[in-house]
Amino acid sequence: MDMKLNLSEAKIARARELAVAIVNPVMEFVEAHTSLTVERAALRLAGADGADADGVPVPNLVVDQLKGKLENGALLYYINALVKTGETVEGLNAKIAGGLRVDEIPLGDRGAIEKKTAERIQAFAERVKRNRAHREAKLVQYAGKNHSPMLYLIVATGNIFEDVKQAQAAAEQGADVVAVIRTTAQSLLDYVPYGATTEGFGGTYATQENFRIMRQALDEAVDKQGRYIYLTNYASGLCMPEIAAMGALERLDMMLNDSMYGILFRDINMYRTFVDQKFSRMINAFAGVIINTGEDNYLTTSDAVEKAYTVLASQFLNERFAYAAGMPARLMGLGHAFEMDPTIKNGFLMELAQAQMAREIFPEAPLKYMPPTKFMTGDIFKGVVQNALFNFVSQATNQGIHLLGMLTEAIHTPFMQDRSLALENAKYVMNNMADLSSEIQFKPGGIIMNRAHQVLDEAVAFLERIEQIGLMDAMEKGEFADIKRPRDMGKGLDGLVKKGDEYYNPFESFLKSELGLER
């Protein structure tokens, strides 16, 4: 792509060097630890599914039985039970749901356990590879039919069956990506509900059955509309690896998955989050799932002019964490947002500078660009203009994933007609300036170029400061989003476990091998 901002390659390289130095100590801690949800995710990959009469999921039942023994990993006991009982996976799940305790079954022959584990890994790998092949075949079949950037819409009724209707309507109106918003506070549940759900506040529960239902519905839309429709959900919160596992099994295409979002905005313990995010990203990488990071949220609590550098710095860190999990750049939907105060003189030029800068620094990433929200007032006419300017910047800077702005932002959850108007706005603006990016250059020494250089300089200085004090200390001091999070507090800390010398999680080893992390 054209490099129009004359950014310093040396400074960009310096920022990446600093990101490595910042992330490496965190990854040393991550490698030595597991968590309740990492263990449940491994069980899910092996086939653990279902729930007991009270709705407690089988993976939770197994992990709860093993409290005090998890330093060896939950998979050892689950696979041992498969071998010892002679049951199928489905049969064992039913017995566990009925009260069988895998922790009370004496451990048998290690060779038999490893052989059975290899069978479960093969079944998982074959299923995910079929999912990837299906997606890739459809993308080839309908090549060139998606918008660029891809137009992304949300549904959030609380009822999966109502979500299906709205998702198919969104696809018919022109959406390329449909995100099912998760019900309020699900990120704070340390379990994943079981089955289809019809009640949720502000969104719909993320469950494997809900994923299956929505994927089937969008597959119908794919062939009807003649373009691939990407399905998105949230691999975040206290169950991010489990939700990544469910998404891999049910062929989701994108997952919101940030290395620090849960710490800053959901008060989830930082140790737990860093451990969980790596395993979740390894699963996403193997499944070919594009992650969406959450830098846009920084600008809901910090000023977009003064703290723009924190967005860029976080993008560098999210990129490094993703590489450490074996994820290629083409799957990194690094986030940013159009959130300048509209009363600022030349705010549009600063927005353009930020978006172009991100595009040039992360040329392979399908950048996810978020719409105006913080300064939407309920004046729908002004909102249309704000969104039109946002659409302009997105097309002019070749963003990858474009989350549509709603004229009714700050009034209510969008109606179908609000989404239709948002799509019309975006398609009108983007079609009329489709090739503008290749026609324009930026004035040397002008406002746009100077702003980009300033933000890059500030991001490098910020990363140098973090490298000196350490990422966890920086988060304790409130360096990101002006939010302070103590390392020894936050939700989920009691679900962190130090790995023992005999820790057993061959799914982790398999993913590392497949993703080139063992070289």
Provide the residue ranges of all domains of the chain, joining segments of one domain with +: 34-122, 146-450
CATH 3.20.20.440 is the classification of domain 146-450: yes
Instruction: Give the active site residues.
Output: 261, 296, 368
pLDDT (mean) for 26-47: 97
Share the mean pLDDT of the chain: 96
Q: How far is CA 130 from CA 250, 420, 516, in A?
A: 11, 34, 21
Section 360-381 average pLDDT: 95
401-449 tens-digit pLDDT: 999 999 999 888 888 899 999 999 999 999 999 999 999 999 999 999 9
Contacts for 498 with CB less than 8 Å, ≥ 6 apart:
32, 33, 71
pLDDT of residue 298: 86
Contact of 251 with 198, CB cutoff 8 Å: no
Strand partners, 232: 179, 254
Phi-psi region at 68: left, alpha or beta (left = phi > 0; alpha = psi -120 to 50): left
pLDDT tens digits for 200-240? 999 999 999 999 999 999 999 999 999 999 999 999 999 99
- The Cβ-side half-sphere exposure at 307, using a 13 Å CA radius, reads 23
Written as one letter, the residue type at 441 is Q
pLDDT of residue 302: 86
Quick check: 2 pLDDT over 80?
Answer: no
Q: Name the phi and psi angles at 118, rounded to 5.
A: -60, -35
Per residue in 231-267, pLDDT (tens digit) is 999 999 999 999 999 999 999 999 999 999 999 999 9
pLDDT number for residue 114: 97
Position 1 scores a pLDDT of 63
Q: What is the model's pLDDT at position 3?
A: 86
Which residue in 355, 359, 357, 362 sits closest to 330, CA to CA? 362
pLDDT at position 324: 97
Q: What fold, for 34-122?
A: Helicase, Ruva Protein; domain 3 (1.10.8)
Please state the rounded mean pLDDT for residues 289-308. Answer: 91
Specify the pLDDT at position 78: 98
Q: Which residues contact 213 (CB under 8 A, 6 or more apart)?
A: 160, 161, 164, 196
User: Which residue is associated with the tokens 């009034």?
Assistant: 411
pLDDT of residue 519: 52
Sign of CA dihedral 96, 98, 99, 105: negative
Q: What is the pLDDT of residue 153?
A: 96
For strands 33-35 and 496-498, give the pairing: antiparallel
pLDDT digits (tens, 9 = 90+) for 55-79: 999 999 999 999 888 999 999 999 9
Tell me the pLDDT tens digit for each residue of 320-339: 999 999 999 999 999 999 99
